[in-house]
Every structure is written in C-alpha cells, then in structure tokens.
Structure 1
C-alpha cells in the first residue's frame, strides 16, 4: 500500500518536470468613446473564452486570469512573472478607487482558460486516488 502511494506521489511530482507549462496571453479592454462602446485587444480573451488565435507563452510560475470592472472593464490572461512578489495573489472582488478586481492564479498547463481558475489536473487526480485508497 505504501509503495503504491509513493509511486503516485513520484508520478505527480515528476510528471512534466522537464516541460514548462504554457499560459494563455491576451488582454481585452472595453471603453466608451464618443458614446460608442469599443473593445481593444483579442476578443477571444473575454468570457466565454475562445482560444482561437490566442498566444501561448511558456511559464515556470503561475498562470493568471484577472478581471477589472469599472469605467474601463478588462480581462487579462498571462504568466505571472513578477520577481518582486514571489507568489501570485488570489483576489476576489477587491475594490480600489472605484475599480473591482478579481485575480485567479493556477499552476497547470493552459489553466487560465476557465471562468474561475482552479487546481491543476495532476493535483486533483492525486487527491482523488489518495481518497479512494483510504
């Protein structure tokens, strides 16, 4: 039994260890100009997400999706690579100066494609198998 658990954790730990995950990289900004609503950026970036023609970038940290609501709403998906802050911070309806910001962080290949980003697939499978064994 212990050998099986050790095997599962080794597979989870080393699966894709040499491969860098990829994150979607796009921005869509909405604004009103002379009474008309305009969108700037990749339309597929909005929710529901459409990955057609959306760039993928290599990432060694976390994939991120952020949503800003206010006078100029926006959606952004990218690889978190901020050296001054070592960990991506989850935000849910954080308000600052009249703008509401939500930020979702994840660590799976192309994981920033969802509405609200969740756990990586490997972590979820490992947890499910462990639960079945006990």
Structure 2
C-alpha cells in the first residue's frame, strides 16, 4: 500500500513540474511578441502585417513614421499594392537591439524576408523606437 501512495505522489509532482514549465515557456513566448520590448514590438508589427491586421501594425507607429505612412487607409493600400505585385512579407528576424543610456530609445536591426513571385529574398533594415506609456512605438527607419 505504501508503494502505491509513493508512486501517486511522484506522478502528481511530475504533473505539477510539467504545468509549471509550460506556464513559464508560455509567458516567455508571449512576452517576446509584446510591445514591452523593442524587439517584441518589431515582431508584433511585422506579424500583424503578415496577418493583414493593419490596424494593429499601424497602432505601433508614432512620430515621423506615422507621418510618413499617412492615414490608416494609406498604410493599408501600401501593403495591398505589394500583394497585387506578388510581393509579401513572410518573416522577420531580429539581429541586434541597441538601447539608449536612459532606456527610452532603441535601434532594432532586423532581417525581413520577402517573397516575390515565389522567390524569397532577405532585406536588412533598422527601426528607431521610443518608449511610450503604452509600450514601444516605431518612430523612424534606417535602411
């Protein structure tokens, strides 16, 4: 009888460890795609564009970048025009993040993968982000 109880306790402990690991991994994955970090903001921006969720992508813009992109309708049209010409963003990879001393500005270098007529090509770029009350926003670009 004692052996049976010990094996049940071990099973419960293993289950609790697995649940804890799952929760930790989930939190890490979700936080890396949030606006709480510069790199998370860039990933969220491009993933929103890939899903054609232009409202979310547009909400991550501020300052000069917002002026450059114009209205939400203009922003949408730019990406719809890309699709019309058989060009689409299919991936983004963060290469480097440089924070200012006060941790309120960041430069994020990334590689954007674009598929054009079935062929994928990588393009390097960098965005300047600033920290706002509601998270990091894309202020400008360096290409």
Same topology, TM > 0.5 = no
* Rg comparison, structure with higher value: 2
Give the TM-score range, shorter chain. Answer: under 0.3
TM-score (norm 2): 0.25
